Amino acid sequence: MAAVTLLHTKGLSRRFGGLKAVQNVDFDLKQGEIRALIGPNGAGKTTFVSLLSGRIVPSEGQVFFEGEEVTGDPAWRRVRKGIAYTFQITSVYAKLTAYENVALAAQSALSRSGAVRKKDLDRAVAEAIEKVGLSDRARMKAGELSYGHQRLLEVAMGLALRPKLLMLDEPTQGLSDAEIDNFCNLVRDIARTATILLIEHNMPVVMQLADSITVLNAGEILANGTPAEIRANPAVQAAYLGS
């Protein structure tokens, strides 16, 4: 059976003054896959995922999610439809505990079904925090966590939203080697129930996790393919991977 397209863009573009950050991108993401988005600094990766999440609006083009156009939907509405995005720079609430940060996301997800019961909220928060390995830090203020643990907390917040699509922007930044290994296992676990778009510079992580890879360069798609195909692509080697 053919894979179902979860997200699709058509001619997606974004300009900032004279800078063409994203140029006429047609992009398809299949349900259930782990897709990596890579490219050199300034390639337009973060702008592109910001367009997908609704944090910025396109200059031209369209975004479709589950066959429905969402181009005009703000970020909060896309979250309700199942699109979650963790930022390149952490966006946790420093003065709240790790538990409270995740509870805000979990409450948003649970409220879609009606009144939120405390036991359901506690369960959802505990599950998300346990998945990222922060159970023993649940009562710590988020601002007191290490940078790597703040990154994991943000992933827990994304999980608590119960997304259909989880976009992770540079999630391994600030993690130790052991934490990166645990993160890779976490992504495989998440992929059982959600589609993942991974924006990552750590190429061993990309090659290990991704089912397929999209390469951006100067705001345009340079190549799509499996990890083996991308590694062997001369244009990708010249623009990003090196010889």
Q: What percent of the chain has pLDDT over 70?
A: 96
Residue 35 has pLDDT above 50, yes or no: yes
Task: Please name the residue that has the structure tokens 């910025």.
Answer: 56
Confirm if 142 and 101 have CB atoms less than 8 A apart: yes
Q: Using alpha carbons only, what angle is made at residue 56 by residues 170 and 203, rounded to the nearest 5 degrees?
A: 20
Mean of pLDDT over the chain: 90
Give the pLDDT score at 3: 77
Residues 58-86 have pLDDT tens digits of 999 999 999 999 999 999 899 989 999 88
Residue 226 has pLDDT above 80, yes or no: yes
3-state secondary structure of 50: helix
Least confident stretch, 106-120, 122-136, 147-161: 106-120
Confirm if 3 and 58 have CB atoms less than 8 A apart: no
Mean pLDDT of 91-106: 90
Mean pLDDT of 184-206: 92
Residue 142 has pLDDT above 80, yes or no: yes
Strand extents, DSSP E, 79-218 = 83-86, 165-169, 195-199, 212-217
Quickly state the pLDDT bin for 88 (edges 50, 70, 90). Answer: very low
Neighbours of 48 (CB within 10 A): 27
Q: What percent of the chain has pLDDT over 90?
A: 62
Of 6 and 169, the structure prediction assigns the larger pLDDT to 6
Q: By CB neighbour count within 10 A (0-12 exposed, 13-18 middle, 19+ buried), where does 98 fall?
A: buried
Instruction: Report the predicted TM-score, pTM, of the whole model to 2 decimal places.
Output: 0.88
Least confident stretch, 91-95, 122-126, 157-161, 231-235: 91-95
Residues 153-182 have pLDDT tens digits of 988 998 998 899 999 988 888 788 888 888
